[in-house]
Amino acid sequence: MNQLTNYTFDELEIGATATFERTLEEKDLILFAAVSGDINPLHLDPEFARTTQFKERIAHGAWSGSLISAALANVMPGPGTVYLGQSLQFQRPVKLGDTLRVELEVKDKQERRKQVTFITKVVNQQGKTVVSGEALVMAPSEKMTLDARTLPTITIG
């Protein structure tokens, strides 16, 4: 992705959809623990995880949720979006190597405040829902295209 182009409030139609994909890598478990402070060993310690109902390390639920934020910010509506609210129901564990797809769908628009409600679903590579919920955003009024910034290299250990 080199450029990000947004959808303005007026361009967003009820029923419009967009997607965003991401695969869970081991580094994501460490980075998410570091940036959130959530050092639950279920996400970090294979031996501890083996003793739980999940049998292996799983993603932080909030990581799967953060992909919805990425989909809203990068794809639809994209740049200029202000994130107002989110509900999340964590339905299934996410394991290393799982590829998640965020599916956004415009559910409703509130004209006066330029607010848009999205149905937000995260599904795994088997098509099973891992997170369901809804987002509320203020959609941008002005059309814009931005160059996506390249992030600096991040080294672990």
* Residues in 28-57 that interact with a copy of itself by CB under 8 A: 28, 30-42, 44-45, 48, 52
Nearest CA to 135 out of 122, 123, 117 is that of 117
Size of the site for a copy of itself (CB under 8 A): 55
State which of residues 79, 117, 118, 123 lies at the interface with a copy of itself (CB under 8 A).
Answer: 79
Distance in angstroms (rounded) separating the CA atoms of residues 19 and 21:
7
Nearest CA to 139 out of 9, 12, 15, 18 is that of 9
Nearest CA to 123 out of 100, 96, 89, 98 is that of 100
Kindly write out the interface string for residues 82-121 of this chain, putting x where it contacts a copy of itself by CB under 8 A and - elsewhere: -xxxxxxxx-------------------------------
Q: Which is nearer to a copy of itself, 16 or 82 (CB)?
A: 82
